[in-house]
Structure 1
Amino acid sequence: MALFKFLKRKRPSESRDDSPDGTLQIDQGLTIGSRSPSFFGRLLHKLAGKSSFLESQQRLLKDLEEEGLLIYAVKYRSHLDFLFLNSRLSQADLRPPVFAFDLRPILWLPAFRAIRLIFSFLRHYLKEGAFPNPYQTGDYRELVLGREPSVLFLVGKAGYYRRFGFTERDPLHLLLETQRQTDMPIILVPSLIFHGKAPEKQQKGMVDIFFGHKERPGSLRKLVAFLRNYKNNILEVAEPLNVKEWLAGQPAENPSKSSLAFQLRRELIDRIDRHRRVVTGPVLKSRWEMKEIILHNKDLEKRMERRARSNNRTIEAVRKEADGYLDEIATDLNLTYVQIGERLLTWIWHTIYDGIDLDVDSLDMVKQAAQKAPLVYVPCHKSHIDYLVLSYLLFRHNLNIPLVAAGKNLSFWPLGTFFRKSGAFFIRRSFRGQKFYTDVFAAYIKTLVNEGHNLEFFIEGGRSRTGKLVLPKLGLLAILMQAVEEGYCDDLIFVPCAINYDRVLEEGAYLKEVKGSSKKKESLAQLVRARGVLKKRYGRVYVKFSQPMSLKTYMDRFNLDFDTMKPKERHAMYRDFAWRIIHNINNTSMVTPVALVAAVLLTTSKRGISLAEIKLITGNYHNYLQHREVPTVSSLQDLDKTLQDTLTLMVKSKWLDLLADEDETDEEERIYTVDDSNRLQLEYYRNNIIHFLLPAVYISSAILTKEAFEFNLEGIEDDLLFFRDFFKFEFVYDADENLGETINQVLAYCLSQRFIIEASSQFNTYRITHQGLKALSCFASLLRSYMESYWIVLKATKHLDKKPYSEKEFLKKINSMGNKFYKLELVERFESISRITFENAVKFFCEKGAIKKSEKHENGKVHVSYENGNNQEAVAYYGRMIDRFHRTSHFTIK
Structure 2
Amino acid sequence: MRALLYKLMFLLAYWIFRPFNRYIHYTTTPAALRESLKLDPTRPVVYILATRSWADLFVLDRICKDLVLPRPNRTGSNFPTIEKAGVVYLPALLETRMRPTELTRLIETGIATQDFDAQLVPVSVFWGRDPGREKSWFELLFADSVQAGMVRKFFIMLANGRSVFANFGLPLAFREFVSREPDATRAIRKLTRTLHFHFLRARTAALGPTLLARHVVINGLLQKQNVLEAVEAATKGGSMTREKALAHARKCADEIAADYTNNVIVFLERFLGAILFKRVFSSIDVRGLERLREWAQQGYEIVYMPSHRSHADYLLVSYTLYHAGLVPPHIAAGVNLNFWPVGGLLRGAGAFYLRRSFAGDYIYSAVFRAYVDSLIQRGYAIEFFPEGGRSRTGRLLAPKTGMLSMVVEAGLKQRTRKVALVPVFIGYDKCWEVASYAKELKGAKKQKESAEGLLKAGKILGKSYGKAYISFGEPTVLQDHADKHLPGWRETFAADKDELPPQYKAFVGQLALQHMRDINANAVANPVGLAAVALLASPQRAVSEDEFVEQIGHLVWLLKGSPDAGNLYIPETAPKTIVELSAPIARILRVPHKWGDLHAITDNDAVALTYNRNNIQHLFAIPSMIANQFRTRMLLTEEAIVLGVRALYPFLRTEFFLRWQPEEVESVTRHWLEVMLQLGLLNRSGDRLQRPDVTSPAFSTLAMLGRVMGETLERYCITALLLAEERRTQQSLKRERFEEDCRLIAERMAILTGRDAPEFFDKALFRGYLNTLIEVGLVVETGDRSLAVDARIERMSERSLEMLSDETRQMLLQLLSRRKMAETATPEAKEPTPPNPV
TM-score category of the 2 structures, normalised to the smaller one: 0.7 to 0.9
The answer to whether 1:349 aligns with 2:349 is no
Match of 2:749 in 1: 821
For residues 679-717 of structure 1, the C-alpha deviation after alignment (integer angstroms, 9 at most, x for no partner) is: 322211111111111121122234556xx5332233444
Secondary structure, in 3 states, of the residue corresponding to 1:516?
coil
Conserved 8 A contact 2:28-2:166: yes
For residues 667-686 of structure 1, the C-alpha deviation after alignment (integer angstroms, 9 at most, x for no partner) is: xx222333333332221111
Conserved 8 A contact 1:516-1:834: no
For residues 250-277 of structure 1, the C-alpha deviation after alignment (integer angstroms, 9 at most, x for no partner) is: 3xxx34x344323322221111111111
1:216 deviation in Å?
A: 1.2
Q: 1:79 to 1:516 in 2, by over 3 A?
A: same
1:222 deviation in Å?
A: 0.2
Match of 2:688 in 1: 765
The amino acid across from 2:382 in the alignment is L
CA RMSD of aligned residues (A): 3.7
Match of 2:713 in 1: 787
Conserved 8 A contact 1:196-1:234: yes
Match of 2:550 in 1: 616
Residue 666 of structure 2 is aligned with which of 722, 740, 744? 740
Secondary structure, in 3 states, of the residue corresponding to 1:496?
strand
Deviates more, 1:553-562 or 1:571-580: 553-562
Q: 1:774 to 1:487 in 2, by over 3 A?
A: same
Secondary structure, in 3 states, of the residue corresponding to 2:685?
strand
The amino acid across from 2:690 in the alignment is R
Partners of 1:593 and 1:376 lie apart in 2 by 29
Match of 1:228 in 2: 159
Match of 2:504 in 1: 570
The amino acid across from 2:62 in the alignment is S
1:561 deviation in Å?
A: 3.4
Q: What aligned pairs does 1:456-605 form with structure 2 within 5 A after superposition? A: 456-487=383-414, 489-558=416-485, 560-563=487-490, 569-605=503-539
Match of 2:635 in 1: 710
Residue 86 of structure 1 is aligned with which of 61, 75, 85? 61
Q: 1:810 to 1:370 in 2, by over 3 A?
A: farther
Secondary structure, in 3 states, of the residue corresponding to 2:418?
coil
Partners of 1:38 and 1:174 lie apart in 2 by 26
Match of 2:766 in 1: 841
The amino acid across from 1:415 in the alignment is V
For residues 367-420 of structure 1, the C-alpha deviation after alignment (integer angstroms, 9 at most, x for no partner) is: 433432210011111111001011011112221110001111111111111111
1:718 deviation in Å?
A: 3.8
Partners of 1:806 and 1:715 lie apart in 2 by 33
The amino acid across from 1:481 in the alignment is V
Partners of 2:384 and 2:95 lie apart in 1 by 49
Conserved 8 A contact 2:523-2:569: no
Q: TM-score, normalised by structure 1?
A: 0.80
Residue 750 of structure 1 is aligned with which of 666, 676, 682? 676
Conserved 8 A contact 1:69-1:184: no
Q: 1:497 to 1:31 in 2, by over 3 A?
A: farther
Match of 2:649 in 1: 724
Residue 885 of structure 1 is aligned with which of 791, 797, 803? 803
Match of 1:131 in 2: none
Secondary structure, in 3 states, of the residue corresponding to 1:469?
coil
Match of 2:41 in 1: 66
Secondary structure, in 3 states, of the residue corresponding to 2:353?
strand
Match of 1:288 in 2: 215
Q: What aligned pairs does 1:107-506 form with structure 2 within 5 A after superposition? A: 135=77, 140-141=78-79, 144-145=80-81, 147-155=83-91, 164-165=98-99, 167=100, 169-203=101-135, 205=137, 208=140, 214-250=145-181, 254-255=182-183, 257-309=184-236, 312-346=239-273, 347-359=275-287, 362-487=289-414, 489-506=416-433
Q: 1:35 to 1:434 in 2, by over 3 A?
A: closer
Match of 1:644 in 2: 580
Secondary structure, in 3 states, of the residue corresponding to 1:378?
strand
Partners of 2:423 and 2:257 lie apart in 1 by 24
Q: 1:469 to 1:204 in 2, by over 3 A?
A: same
1:249 deviation in Å?
A: 2.7
Q: 1:593 to 1:630 in 2, by over 3 A?
A: farther
Q: What aligned pairs does 1:864-883 form with structure 2 within 5 A after superposition? A: 869=787, 871=789, 879-883=797-801
Conserved 8 A contact 1:842-1:851: no
Match of 1:104 in 2: none
Q: 1:314 to 1:622 in 2, by over 3 A?
A: same
Q: Which runs of 5 or more residues in structure 2 are unaligned?
A: 493-499, 818-838
1:725 deviation in Å?
A: 2.5
The answer to whether 1:46 aligns with 2:17 is no
Secondary structure, in 3 states, of the residue corresponding to 2:668?
helix
Q: Which runs of 5 or more residues in structure 1 are unaligned?
A: 1-23, 102-134, 856-865
Q: Percent identity?
A: 23
Partners of 1:544 and 1:840 lie apart in 2 by 26
Partners of 1:58 and 1:742 lie apart in 2 by 39
Q: TM-score, normalised by structure 2?
A: 0.86
Residue 75 of structure 1 is aligned with which of 50, 55, 70? 50
Partners of 1:100 and 1:580 lie apart in 2 by 54
1:456 deviation in Å?
A: 0.4
Secondary structure, in 3 states, of the residue corresponding to 1:358?
strand
Equivalent pairs, count: 792
Conserved 8 A contact 2:358-2:365: yes
For residues 508-535 of structure 1, the C-alpha deviation after alignment (integer angstroms, 9 at most, x for no partner) is: 0111122232322111111111111011
1:197 deviation in Å?
A: 0.7
Q: 1:419 to 1:97 in 2, by over 3 A?
A: same
Match of 2:561 in 1: 627
Secondary structure, in 3 states, of the residue corresponding to 1:150?
strand
Partners of 1:478 and 1:601 lie apart in 2 by 41
Partners of 1:191 and 1:322 lie apart in 2 by 45
Partners of 1:305 and 1:459 lie apart in 2 by 32
Partners of 1:310 and 1:721 lie apart in 2 by 58
1:547 deviation in Å?
A: 1.4
1:812 deviation in Å?
A: 8.4
Q: 1:462 to 1:715 in 2, by over 3 A?
A: same
Deviates more, 1:784-793 or 1:557-566: 557-566
Partners of 1:555 and 1:500 lie apart in 2 by 30
Conserved 8 A contact 2:404-2:512: yes
Conserved 8 A contact 2:28-2:167: yes
Deviates more, 1:494-503 or 1:593-602: 494-503
Secondary structure, in 3 states, of the residue corresponding to 2:376?
helix
Q: 1:796 to 1:55 in 2, by over 3 A?
A: same
Conserved 8 A contact 2:418-2:478: yes
Partners of 2:12 and 2:523 lie apart in 1 by 54
Partners of 2:377 and 2:334 lie apart in 1 by 23
Partners of 2:683 and 2:735 lie apart in 1 by 53
Conserved 8 A contact 2:621-2:652: no
Secondary structure, in 3 states, of the residue corresponding to 1:155?
helix
Partners of 2:589 and 2:658 lie apart in 1 by 36
Partners of 1:469 and 1:76 lie apart in 2 by 46
For residues 406-447 of structure 1, the C-alpha deviation after alignment (integer angstroms, 9 at most, x for no partner) is: 111111111111111111001122334444422221111011
Deviates more, 1:301-310 or 1:383-392: 301-310
For residues 450-493 of structure 1, the C-alpha deviation after alignment (integer angstroms, 9 at most, x for no partner) is: 01100001111111111121122211111111113323644211
1:42 deviation in Å?
A: 2.4
Match of 2:820 in 1: none
The amino acid across from 1:83 in the alignment is F
Deviates more, 1:198-207 or 1:580-589: 198-207
Partners of 1:173 and 1:57 lie apart in 2 by 36
Secondary structure, in 3 states, of the residue corresponding to 1:754?
coil
Match of 2:823 in 1: none
